[in-house]
Amino acid sequence: MHEVVQAIILGVLVGGIYALMASGLTLVFGIMKVINVAQGALVILAAYLSYALFSHLHIDPFLSILIVTPAMFVLGVAVQLVFVRSLRGPDGSELSLLVTWALALGIEGVLSVIFKTNFRVTSPSYGDNSWSILGYQISEVRLFAFASSAVLLLLLSLLLTRTRFGRAVRATVQNPTAATLLGVDANRVQTLSFGLGVSMAAAAGAVYGVIYPFNPGSHYDLISRLLSIVVLGGLGSLGGAVFAALGMGVIEALVAVEISPVWSSFSFFVVLIAFLLVRPQGIFGVRERVL
Amino acid sequence: MSRATAAGLARGAAFAAAAIAFPFVFNAAWIVNIGVLTLMYAALATAWNLFSGYTGYITLGQAAFFGLGAYTLGIVFEHVGIGSGYNPFYALPLVGAGIAIASVPVAWIALRTRHMTFAIVTLTLLFIVQQLAFNLRSLTKGSSGLMLPTPSFPISSYDTPFYLAMLAILLAGLALCWLILRSKLGLMLLAIREDEEKARGLGIRVTGAKLIAWSLMVWLSAMVGGVWAYYLTFIYPESSVDPLVMIGAVLMTFLGGRGTLWGPTIGALVLVPAQQYMITKLGASQLYLVGYSAVFMVVLLLLPRGILPSLRSAIDKQRERRRTHREPIVREEARA
């Protein structure tokens, strides 16, 4: 029993970080029907940036979120303008899968040229500390990581519900044509939201590098989980993504404890496929509209 | 619907004859080796096009079936014994068919979802198979890799049997595509691509049609994987379920023109030699990955319809121009 509770705690803490990454992915899909396969590669890119800031300038990885996130926001806006915006037309969203995949390969290639392919981990002095509460071990960095993800997700939801920009975004998600008719600048909303989605990856990446060792090829591992999370949660649903991410964290941690760590991500994929049998649109998803 | 024109048949026969003669004319091992890879990608791209090009449903899981084919052949070698030399080639259609049949229930679940979700679900299939290859150590030997027996072909023409096997799969794929394009099934698939709801409303069994195309795609991909495994005689999870191989095939299909008959083959003929050249120049390393992604971007953003459709519309435009050029003369004659 103790083991199970410990696994659930660990799973929730890890799931929180995945929730942050997946929220960016599902937000971008909700607005422009684009799946950003490069989200995983962008997370790794941010992890490297934060790693470089830490090892050369001794900036704390959690502080580096404040530097990496705005920088990657700019990068995201640039990517949208150069690569994604031109994909219009009936099969634009399918093409976007491949274009962002190519982008992911490009990022992987550039990172391997600069940093080589050996595994790195950002290890601040407090990296191995952990607290023990009621007999359960809680690693300090994982708790910080979870907390900063939660704060950022809260900020994102405030941005979407309390601001004028957020209202424009939600209007675009619900009905792009009507939003445009009411004076929402669709291009601006799309570009800024893509940047926002990438900055979620960035913030999560800075944190990711503290918890897991990573190399340029790690993005496949990330994107396979992230895509499963957003599909399980229902494409375009923020709440669904958060819920599914926490669920994934818990399932993986439980399988790792009860069966074997090598089967943990496999089990989540199987859960996804089994779930789609019952509910193809995901937990909170709406059936994809046919035009 | 495409008809069996004399020109079309001649094109097919000429391609087959040239491809069969190739390894006997240029018999240097490194050339035949590039030939094997070119045909492998051409067959994979043709298989991908058979499903994704005709139905409009992008699948990102093809590498899973390539890997399943490779591993199944390897495991069959270990545990069943299917002879040596040419014999394993004859077992391949059966291996492929088994994998295709086994994949149908999964495909049925995946096809309950719509375009984008479908693409993602098929991508998870790829990761599932890769994980299985890593974890089922008693069958696959996990990350240390699986060894297949080296066939006893003469050293001087060692690559040629594999070349011919890949060619046979490619020709089978092209023949299937050609048959489908001129059959009712082809019309059904195209209707699905244009407007699935309307197709369903007209009484087309959309799921059945998609499943047929899907299982043919799996059958071809698994056979290619099997030949590849036998050719390399050593497979491990990262190399046999490699997203890069699949994305290469997708890129070639896009370059040549998806939904066409010859497009994927043309794409492979252009890209694979270029890719091999890049590997020898840059090393199979990171710079190569950067170049690869750059080519991919250029093709997708500048030539999203592919070579063949672009050429065709250019030719059509030319004809149109010639016709409009001629018309005024006709009118003048009429006036006079």
- CB A94 to CB B58 under 8 A? yes
- pLDDT band of B321, cuts 50, 70, 90: confident
β-bridge pairing A136-139 and B234-235: unpaired
Give B305-315 pLDDT, tens digit per residue: 788 888 888 88
Domains of chain A, residue spans: 2-117+126-219
Nearest by CB to residue B112, choosing from A29, A97, A276, is A276
| Cα–Cα distance measured from residue B120 to residue B127, given in angstroms and rounded to the nearest whole number | 11
**For residue A138, what are the β-bridge partners?**
A131
Which range of residues forms the domain containing residue B66?
6-240
pLDDT at B236 > cutoff 90:
no
pLDDT class of B169 with cuts at 50, 70, 90: very high
Overall average pLDDT of the B186-207 stretch: 87
Is A259 touching B (CB cutoff 8 A)? no
What's the pLDDT score for residue A291?
35
B263 domain residue, yes or no: no
What does the pLDDT average to over B195-213?
88
CB of B315 within 8 Å of any CB in chain A? Answer: no
Contacts of A79 in chain B (CB under 8 A): none
In a domain, B274, yes or no: no
* Amino acid A290: pLDDT: 38
Does a structural domain hold residue B259?
Answer: no
Does pLDDT of B44 surpass 90?
yes
How large is the average pLDDT for residues B197-226? 90
DSSP string, B261-328: SSHHHHHHHHHHHHHHHHHHHH-SSHHHHHHHHHHHHHHHHH-TT-HHHHHHHHHHHHHHHHHHHHHH
Q: Is B162 part of a structural domain of the chain?
A: yes
Contacts of A176 (CB under 8 A, 6+ apart): A186
Q: CB contact, 8 Å: B124 with chain A?
A: yes
Q: Which residues of A touch B116 (CB under 8 A)?
A: 29, 33, 35, 93-94, 97, 235, 288
Domain count, chain B: 1
**Pair of tokens at residue B213:** 């195309």
The arithmetic mean of pLDDT across residues B16-20, rounded, is 85
Quick check: A266 and B197 CB within 8 A? no
Q: Is the pLDDT of residue B27 over 70?
A: yes
Interface of A with B in 43-82 (CB under 8 A): none
Q: Residue B261: is it exposed, middle or buried by C-beta count within 10 angstroms (0-12/13-18/19+)?
A: buried
Note whether residue B269 is domain-resident. no
CB contact under 8 A, B293 and A105: yes
Each residue's pLDDT, cut to its tens digit, for chain A (291 residues) gives: 778 888 888 889 889 999 999 999 999 888 888 888 999 999 999 999 999 998 888 888 888 888 999 999 999 999 888 888 877 666 777 788 888 888 998 899 888 888 887 888 888 877 777 777 777 777 888 888 888 889 999 998 898 888 888 888 888 888 888 888 888 888 888 899 999 999 999 999 988 888 888 988 888 888 988 998 998 888 888 888 999 999 988 988 888 888 888 888 888 888 888 888 887 777 777 654 433
Angle at the Cα of B192 (from B117 to A230), degrees rounded to 5? 5
User: Is position B156 within any domain?
Assistant: yes
Q: Could you report the predicted ipTM of this complex, rounded to two decimals?
A: 0.84
pLDDT attached to residue A269: 86
In whole angstroms, what is the distance from residue B251 CA to residue B256 CA? Answer: 9
* DSSP states along B82-149: --STTHHHHHHHHHHHHHHHHHHHHHHHHTTS-HHHHHHHHHHHHHHHHHHHHH-HHHH-GGG-EE-P
Residue B3: per-residue pLDDT: 60
Q: How many helices (H) and strands (E) does chain A have?
A: 11, 2
Could you tell me if residue B184 is inside a domain?
A: yes
Distance of residue B195 Cα from the nearest chain A Cα, in angstroms: 9
Is residue B182 domain-resident?
yes
Alpha carbons B27 and B32: distance in angstroms, whole number: 6
How confident is the model over B138-163, as a mean pLDDT?
Answer: 80
Per-window interface: A 114-133 vs B, CB < 8 A: 117
CA–CA gap between residue B99 and residue B15 (Å, rounded):
29
Structure tokens of A235? 């494409």
CA–CA gap between residue B204 and residue B263 (Å, rounded): 27
- Please compute the mean of the pLDDT values over residues B268-285 and round it to a whole number: 80
